[in-house]
Amino acid sequence: SGTMGYALALAARRRGAAVTLVSGPTALPAPPGVQFVPVVTALEMRDAVLARLEKATVVIKAAAVADYRPAVRQAAKIKKSAGPLNLALERNPDILAEIARRKGSRIVVGFAMESEDLLENARAKLMGKGADFIVANDLTQTGAGFGTDTNIVRILDWEGGDERLPLLGKLEVAGVILDRVKQIRGTGRIRDGR
Ligand code: C5P
């Protein structure tokens, strides 16, 4: 739905940050005071994010990016025929991993939505993608994940930290994430880009 990303943009703006919100299509209004960059496809999102990386000091990737896209884009409507239709799909680039490789001294934050083995899968994403920390979400818990105004998250960081948070509104979760970013900045314990 975009709720988490928009809450982050709003919370960061309220704290005085210069915020750029790169967003796929959502039903939400752009938060006031942020630079809003609408995109449609994962490739457009990658280009928009990478083009702005240089100027950014913190990148938070809350978008649920499609893992695949149709290999061929049809200009016209696909006519039906009697038999089944197979669509070839190809992998989309992993934007978070790409950013993290070029992060330098930036702080990069990712999300992980899991329906099984939350800790193991989220930790593998954290380590594999190269983020400073991952906000992990258990989709099996009521009040967490897609299409809700609340979230139950767990913050896993690259140094092994694991903080479980109670059920919070997404704006409150955004506050906790920004507090964490601030804390990392304060201590300077920033993960190296690979
Ligand atoms: O691998 P998975 O999609 O579960 O990882 C989620 C994290 O990776 C989120 O932070 C999401 O924004 C990011 N991601 C991305 N590009 C993709 C897929 C996911 O940046 N193509």
Provide the pLDDT for residue 149.
83
The sign of the dihedral angle between the CA atoms of 63, 19, 128, 44 is positive
- Determine if residue 46 is left, alpha or beta; phi over 0 gives left, psi from -120 to 50 gives alpha, anything else beta: alpha
**Is there an atom of ligand 1 within 6 Å of 92 CB?**
yes
Provide the pLDDT for residue 160.
95
Provide the pLDDT for residue 89.
97
**Is there an atom of ligand 1 within 6 Å of 110 CB?**
yes
146 secondary structure, DSSP code: T
Provide the pLDDT for residue 143.
77
**Is there an atom of ligand 1 within 6 Å of 112 CB?**
yes
Strands 107-114 and 58-61 come out as parallel
Nearest CA to ligand 1 atom 17: 94
Provide the pLDDT for residue 4.
94
Closest ligand 1 atom to residue 97 Cα is 20
- For ligand 1, the distance from its centroid to the CA atom of residue 183, given in whole angstroms, is 24
Closest ligand 1 atom to residue 92 Cα is 21
49-58 pLDDT tens trace: 999 999 999 9
Residue for token pair 């809450």: 7
58-80 pLDDT tens trace: 999 999 999 999 999 899 999 99
Q: What are phi and psi of 181, to 5 degrees?
A: -60, -45
Ligand 1 mutation target, pool 94, 117, 123, most atoms within 8 A of CB? 94
**Is there an atom of ligand 1 within 6 Å of 96 CB?**
yes
Ligand 1 mutation target, pool 96, 103, 133, most atoms within 8 A of CB? 96
**Is there an atom of ligand 1 within 6 Å of 6 CB?**
no
Provide the pLDDT for residue 141.
82
Provide the pLDDT for residue 193.
83
**Mean pLDDT by groups of 10 residues along the chain of 194 residues:** 95 98 97 97 98 97 96 93 95 97 97 93 96 93 78 94 94 97 96 83
**Is there an atom of ligand 1 within 6 Å of 114 CB?**
no
- For ligand 1, the distance from its centroid to the CA atom of residue 58, given in whole angstroms, is 16
